[in-house]
Amino acid sequence: MDRRIHIYEIGFIFLLGALIYSFIEIIFRGYTHWTMTILGGISGAVLYCISEDDQPLAFKALSGALMITALEMITGVADNIIFGWAVWDYSRVPLNLFGQICLPFSVLWFFLCFPALFFCRYVRRKFI
């Protein structure tokens, strides 16, 4: 599909991603941090852009999981290492990198990308 993505679409998806990401954190951790809300919005916008591509769904999910993991690494370094806010610590989780990202959560993101990509496709159809 060769169509331009409009700013209002990205804004809508950013807000949804911010709310959903924060909601997931609150459900599983009992709290969230404002930087996680921003990270969720950016992740949603990235997934929306990825969902536009004509690649196979599994490739899009893998791309989404890698992008979210990279964004978590950047956010983790800023929040936890540079600013010392101690927003999260994966150092006790197996296969972690500096306690900021870990393979189990990357795998989780991969599987969560499937419904997220379907949702992005649904939203895109509503905007067309």
Mean pLDDT, residues 57-71 taken together:
98
**Is residue 12, in this structure, part of any structural domain at all?**
yes
Q: What is the pLDDT of residue 52?
A: 87
Q: Report the candidate in 108, 117, 26 with the shortest Cα–Cα distance to residue 72.
A: 108
What percent of the chain has a predicted confidence (pLDDT) above 90?
A: 88
The span from the CA of 32 to the CA of 50, in Å, is 26
Residue 78: which H helix or E strand, with range? none
Answer whether residue 4 shows pLDDT above 90.
no
CB neighbour list of residue 84: distance below 8 Å, 6 or more residues apart:
none
Average pLDDT of span 65-93: 97
On the question of pLDDT at 1 being above 70, the answer is no
The number of folded domains in the chain is 1
Q: How confident is the model at residue 110 (pLDDT cuts 50, 70, 90)?
A: very high
Q: Which residues form the domain of 116? A: 7-127
Asked, for residue 96, whether it belongs to a domain, the answer is yes
Confirm whether 1 is domain-assigned.
no
Q: Which amino acid is at 43?
A: S
- 32 located within any domain: yes
pLDDT of the residue at 53: 85
The per-residue pLDDT for 39 is 98
Question: Residue 54 is encoded by which pair of tokens?
Answer: 């004509």
Q: What is the pLDDT, as a whole number, of residue 2?
A: 59
Q: What is the pLDDT of residues 24-56, one digit of tens each?
A: 999 989 999 999 999 999 999 999 999 988 899
Instruction: Examine residue 115 and state whether it is found in any structural domain, yes or no.
Output: yes
The pTM assigned to this predicted structure is 0.92
